[in-house]
Amino acid sequence: MKRKLDLRGGRPVWFSYRASSVPAGKLTRDVKTDVLVVGMGVSGAMATEALTRAGHSVICIDRRGPLKGSTSATTALVQFELDQPLTKLSASKGKADAEQAWRRSRLAVINLSGRVAELGIDCSLTCLPSLYLAGNLLRPAELQEEAEARRQAGIAATYLTRQALAERFGIHRAAAILSHGNLALDPRKLTAGLLLRSLVRKARFHAPVEATAIEHGRGQISVGTSLGPTITAQHLVLATGYELTDLIPATAHRIVSTWAIATGRQADKIWPGAALIWEASDPYLYIRATADGRVICGGEDEDFTDETRRDALTADKSKRLAAKLGSLFPRLDVGPEFAWAGSFGTTTSGLPYIGALPGHPRVHAVMGYGGNGITFSQIASEIVASAIGGRDDTDAELFAFRRS
Ligand SMILES: Cc1cc2nc3c(=O)[nH]c(=O)nc-3n(C[C@H](O)[C@H](O)[C@H](O)COP(=O)(O)OP(=O)(O)OC[C@H]3O[C@@H](n4cnc5c(N)ncnc54)[C@H](O)[C@@H]3O)c2cc1C
């Protein structure tokens, strides 16, 4: 049924913080449910929480186990600022759609932070300013246009000159956009928190269990599993991350490789406001701090999938990331205490595909693609929960597989 990947290599920093364990039982007999969610990473957890909140009975399965996929490798900058600058997205998708995608992402980040507060999930979530630095993709004049485009769309953005950036943040670069309202969090604690809240609402978790076949019946879906038993559901939600099922059109996405490092704790050397920092450049660079003062720096993406080659490059990529971090912040101790690599799914448009699969109205894809993966997982949980509840989401068409 699917393409399998070794999703990550090395040791992500999140393993040094304790996330609650999520119990998952064996699957020993055929079972029935309203909704079957395949995948217990952050996308599956968000969908499950939204669906159980709406009163649906939900079963989740995962072929590895909860929190064992790319969710543990993410650097978890949860931004409404999309990887695709608004000006560039407008050029490819049209101004109205591009502005709407940006606004929906802004709402998703607000909704996620409200959801975490309402559920009382302790996931070290902080709301932070961000700096989008001029780079080889957007020079200062283009960055100024980008800030203006965002303001026209109703999204606050302040253009900082070289001098203002140096005075306010001690960063010596040509220019930046300053924004507010992005999030940083611990992705494993968030995912475990969402799953555990769903468990209280009687969600059932089975792992390791792999979905191996999907059959469509009248008004229901039957999913065969690696262990033998079949799960029958009214709706199927595929939250399988970058291991996409064959039902999902392969042309829609590609898998690349990416790397990240985390330094030791250095709270007193963190830059003003602990702003999230990312660069309008290729190769990509982004930086954040953890709540206890480590600095995470990621990027250096390469356009290949091969996991052995990816992991073999980790030492070299770590050095490059540390050097870039040191050139931006000379006072930091940039030596990596953690270094890891991951596979990473992107789409050509930069927007994810979310919703019912073409020709399969009861099979929904909930996918976090690209550098905004977690923001997109939040949007997906909203759109898919609406669809399963029989309601329309005003932005469903924007992210649909069959969008115009
Ligand atoms: C290094 C790195 C840095 C990143 N940084 C950021 C960032 O800063 N901000 C951001 O928003 N995003 C970022 N991302 C992207 C983000 O990590 C992903 O969008 C997110 O983790 C995807 O979560 P998921 O739940 O969809 O996938 P996963 O966590 O991979 O979960 C999918 C699960 O499905 C299971 N599964 C697959 N197939 C089957 C099957 N047939 N049967 C049963 N189970 C199955 C897998 O075992 C897996 O556990 C980053 C990614 C990487 C690798």
| Residue to mutate, 240, 261, 287, 366, ligand 1, most ligand atoms under 8 Å from C-beta | 240
> What pLDDT sits at residue 274?
95
**Domain span including residue 132:** 126-183+252-347
When pLDDT is cut at 50, 70 and 90, the band that residue 122 belongs to is: very high
Mean pLDDT of 294-298: 97
Predicted TM-score (pTM) of this structure: 0.96
The Å distance, Cα 265 to ligand 1 centre, comes to 26
- Are 279 and 341 contained in the same domain? yes
H or E element at residue 167:
helix 162-169
Q: Where are the alpha helices (DSSP H) in 242-336?
A: 307-312, 314-328
- Write the single-letter amino acid at 284: Y
Domain identity same for 194 and 342: no
CA of 17 to the centre of ligand 1 (A): 19
CATH of residue 334's domain is: 3.30.9.10
Domain count within the chain: 2
19-62: pLDDT as tens digits = 999 999 999 999 999 999 999 999 999 999 999 999 999 999 99
Asked whether residue 236 falls in the same domain as residue 261, the answer is: no
Q: Is residue 112 part of a domain?
A: no
Q: Residue 201 maps to which CATH number?
A: 3.50.50.60
Domain co-membership, 45 together with 171 = no
pLDDT of residue 250: 65
- Report how far ligand 1's centroid is from the alpha carbon of 262 (Å): 19
Which residue's CA is the nearest one to ligand 1's atom 31? 41
pLDDT category at 268 given cuts 50, 70, 90 is confident
Pick the more confident residue, 381 or 303: 381
Share of the chain above pLDDT 90, in %: 82
Q: What's the rounded Cα separation, in Å, for the pair 379 and 105?
A: 7
Would you say residue 9 has pLDDT above 90?
no
CB 55 within 8 Å of CB 389: no
Residue 16 is classified by DSSP as G
Helix, strand, or coil (residue 241)? coil
d(CA 364, CA 218): 17
- 202 with 298, same domain: the answer is no
199 part of a folded domain: yes
The pLDDT tens digits for 206-252 are 999 999 999 988 889 999 999 899 999 999 999 999 887 777 766 66
140 shares its domain with 240: no
Residue 53 or 10, more confident: 53
Ligand 1 site-directed mutation target among 70, 109, 300, most atoms within 8 Å of CB: 70
Token pair, residue 278, equals 């990312």
Nearest-angstrom CA–CA distance, 136 and 131:
16
Average pLDDT over residues 329-335: 94
pLDDT at site 251 = 63
CA-CA-CA-CA torsion sign (273, 76, 314, 173):
negative
pLDDT score of 138 more than 70: yes
Query: 285 and 341 share a domain?
Result: yes
In a domain, 116, yes or no: no
Is residue 97 a contact partner of residue 153, using CB atoms and an 8 Å limit?
no
